[in-house]
Structure 1
Amino acid sequence: MLHVVCAIIEQDVKVLITQRSSKMAQPLLWEFPGGKIDAGESETDALIWEIQEELNLLIVPQQRLTPVKHSYGSKTIELIPYTCTLQSGEIKLAEHNAYSWVSIDELLNYSWCPADVPIAEEFIRLKKH
C-alpha cells in the first residue's frame, strides 16, 4: 500500500486543484495536489515538501480529513487529505498539465481521480455546515 498525502489549499473561498499530465498514471484527471510519503517522513512534512516541489507554493497544513483507500488495479493507495492555507509563492507547474482555483460549488464538475472523489465530497460537506 502506498501512502500519499494531498493538499486542499484554500484561498479567497476557492480551492486549488491540479490536472495530471498525459504521462502520469490517471492521465488528465483532476486531483488535489500532493505526493508519496517517504520512509521516516511525517505526513505534514511530506505534504509541505511535495507542494513546494510540484507547485512552488509554501503551505501550512491545518486539518487532517478522512483518509481514502483506493485500488488502482496493480497498486492500492491510502490518500491522506489535509486542508491547508497558502503561505506564499506563485504557482509554477513542475509535473501537472494544468491547475485551477475553483469554488466549492464547482468542485464536482471536474473529472477526478477516483480516490479524490470522497475527499472532495467530505470537504464540501464540511464547508456547507
Structure 2
Amino acid sequence: MVKTVHVAGAVIQNERGEILCALRSASMSMPGLWEFPGGKLEPGESPQSCLVREIKEELGCEIQVGELIADAEHEYPSIRVHLLTYYAVIVGGEPAAREHERLLWLPASRLFELEWAPADIPTVERLLS
C-alpha cells in the first residue's frame, strides 16, 4: 500500500495580483520543479495552521489564509500526495528563500511558463480557469 502524505500549499498573492512561485532546491525531492510553498500537516493540525507555520519556517513571513482553491491527489512512484491549496496574503515580513532555490512573483497568466511539480498542476489549472 502506498503511503499518503497530507500537504497544504499557499497561493500567496501580492498587491499586484502576482503569485509567489517557489523553486525546489537540490536538497529537496524533485529538485528544479516549481511549487506553491507549504508543507506536511502535523497530526491533528488544520491545513490553515499548517500553512501559517510552514510559511513562517520556509519564507520567514506571516500569512493570512483564505479560501480553498484545489483539493488534489497525485500518485508518485513511492508516495501519494494529498494536496490542499489555499489563497493567502502576506500580513507581516517579506518572503525569503530559506529552503527553496529561488522565489518568483508571476501573474497567473504566466504560471504555465514554469515546470511545476505534478501535484501542483491542478492548482495552476484552477487559477487559470
Which interval holds the TM-score relative to the shorter structure? over 0.9
Uncovered stretches (5+) of structure 2, i.e. residues with no partner:
none
Partner of 1:88: 92
1:7-61 CA distances to partner (integer Å, 9 max, x unpaired)? Answer: 0001121000100001211111000000000001111000100001000111111
TM-score, L = length of structure 2: 0.93
1:7 aligns with 2:45: no
1:113 aligns with 2:112: no
1:54 aligns with 2:51: no
When the two structures are aligned, how many residues end up with a matched partner? Answer: 125
> What SS does the corresponding residue of 1:95 show, helix, strand or coil?
coil
Identity rate, percent: 35
TM-score, L = length of structure 1: 0.93
Runs of 4+ in structure 1 over 2 Å off: none
Distance 1:90 1:39 in 2: 29
Q: How does 1:35-74 map to 2 (within 5 A)?
A: 35-74=39-78
> What SS does the corresponding residue of 2:13 show, helix, strand or coil?
strand
Partner of 2:30: 26
